A and B are shown apart, each in its own frame.
Chain A
Amino acid sequence: MNGGPRLFSILRQGPYLIASIHTALDDSQLVRFQQDLVERIGSDRARGVVIDVAALDVLDSFASRTLRDIGEMARLRGAVTVIVGIQPDVAFAMVELGMDTGRVVTALDLEEGLAELDSCLAAPPAPRT
């Protein structure tokens, strides 16, 4: 991505990070996105992350797994992840493909994603059974 347009951006907003993907990413670009984001979660001590994937043309098995992994790694670092901007057609294809989206939380758009983070972090932790 030397000199080319930015593929993604990671911005800080209060205790949260807002990660936006700007275009269709290939596998190695997705891996770089994952590395950068997880690093930022640590260095910024973020409590929540919103990932906007509206610009992704497909969420195939690799992209889905990458998002799930990001969610897991963020959780280990004490941050909640919300994915926003999954188009209905893309969601449908994910399910037909047989993707297990795991424990990733989704919301319609950025605003809802941030509201979701607020409510997740305000609520007391779910009782363990």
Chain B
Amino acid sequence: MAAVEPVGSPGGDCGSADVAALIPLVRRIVASRVPDPATADDLVQETLTRVLAAAGRVEPGMLEPYAIVTARNVVTSMWRDQDRQRRHQHRVVDLRPPEAPDEDVLAREDRAAVAEALTRLSDRERATLLAHEVSGQDTRSLAAELGSTAGAVAAQLNRTRARLRVEYLLVSERVEPPTERCRPVLLAISSGDRRRQREVDAARHLLECGLCARLSEPLVGRGRSRDDAVRVAVRTDADVVAARQAAREVATRLGFSTTDVTLIATAVSEITRNIVRFADSGEVVVTELQEPRRGISIVARDAGPGIPDVDQALQDGYSTYHGLGLGLPGARRLMDEFAVVSETGRGTTVTMTKWRGEG
């Protein structure tokens, strides 16, 4: 790694550096990855703009490493943008169960089934899902438009995807469910929501209803198998380290960049610490996701006192003031999707996901 000229101003602040001094370093990093000089110039500018915007939050000595990683990320996201069209096309079609045959005629029918299933969503559900999956809009900006929170949008997206899978199966099997209870049961299974499954007595319905028994199989098998999950029991400080190292291993195996691996490990550290601090015990489950894309899901749950006002706890400032550390809002910034469910007196579950960029 190349070092920037040390800017030692005698008598001044020790370790101060300024953004202009970073330009040669950023140029070198970008030029080594991007051959076209005009494109490289744009990316250098974008990097410097981002570094400048962050400069107020970054301690001077940290500017250089921050600039290095930002430059790498800017280059990577350019590659990703070039790929976006193909990638997002893919993602909608990827809602198919993995075993779907790829023969042309079947593929066409399959697209028709996805399209038909999409019409069965509410306008709002469909608009949000497409904005996220096809246009690549992130949950935070969606939340701003909808007057909601990113966590709520992420949870809503998960429910919408679950509903879309159910409708897709019904369309492609050309069946209408025989009873009123079928859709709620299939939806609870599709979203993997254990509590909801108990509420609608899903297990009993599957014994009674042949159609749901058959359809539930691809829904349960979808994307994740229990073998992909790593479970860490959390009681003590040492378990916080164990949990973040488990997440690091899974993320590395999934091919995440070292930057992303560190972001994930840091987020896991924050939310696991909350378990140790505020509940007696709990667990962290790290799961590999294959559908609709490769990614990592982390669920941290405890049976502690719960958080009385989740929206408030997700705001910066609130949590530091009330001694929760940067836990929730900080971790949320590091992940793509983030949802907190908490019930006073019953406990808290934090679910967070990071998706892998194409690589």
Contact = CB atoms under 8 A, between A and B. Distances in A.
A93 B334 contact: yes
Nearest to B61: A106
A88 interface: yes
Interface residues of B, number: 49
Nearest to A102: B59
Nearest to A59: B266
B330 interface: yes
A97 B244 contact: no
A24 B245 CA distance: 10
Interface in B225-269: 236-238, 240-241, 244-245, 248, 258-259, 261-263, 265-266, 269
A11 interface: no
A101 B62 contact: yes
A123 to B, nearest CB: 5
Interface residues of A, number: 49
B37 interface: no
A26 B241 contact: yes
Most central of A27, A57, A92 by chain B CB within 10 Å: A92
A123 B329 CA distance: 40
Contacts of A120: 14
Contacts of A73: none
A92 B237 contact: no
Interface string B25-41: 00000000000000000
B240 to A, nearest CB: 6
B22 to A, nearest CB: 13
Given A80-B14, A98-B326, A88 B69 contact: yes
A62 B265 CA distance: 14
A92 B329 CA distance: 16
A34 interface: no
A91 B66 contact: yes
B147 interface: no
Nearest to B237: A26
Contacts of A13: none
Contacts of A89: 69, 258-259, 261-262
Q: State the majority secondary structure of interface residues on B.
A: helix
Nearest to B70: A92
A58 B329 contact: no
Nearest to A65: B325
B58 A95 contact: yes
Interface in A102-129: 102-108, 112, 115-116, 119-120, 122-127
Contacts of B57: 95, 98, 100
Contact of A126 (B6, B11, B66): B11
A86 B61 CA distance: 10
Nearest to B325: A61
B327 interface: yes
A101 B333 contact: no
A87 B61 contact: no
A62 B274 CA distance: 11
Contact of B266 (A24, A28, A93, A104): A93
A99 interface: yes
B65 A107 contact: no
Nearest to B329: A98
Given A87-B65, A92-B66, A57 B248 contact: yes
A21 interface: no
Interface in B307-328: 316, 325-327
Nearest to B326: A61
22 contacts: A26-B241, A27-B237, A27-B240, A27-B276, A57-B241, A57-B244, A58-B244, A58-B266, A59-B266, A60-B270, A60-B273, A62-B273, A83-B61, A86-B65, A91-B69, A92-B70, A98-B329, A101-B62, A116-B14, A123-B14, A126-B13, A127-B11
Closest 7 CB pairs of A and B: A106-B61, A91-B65, A101-B59, A92-B69, A88-B65, A105-B15, A26-B237
Interface of A: 24-29, 57-62, 80, 82-83, 86-108, 112, 115-116, 119-120, 122-127
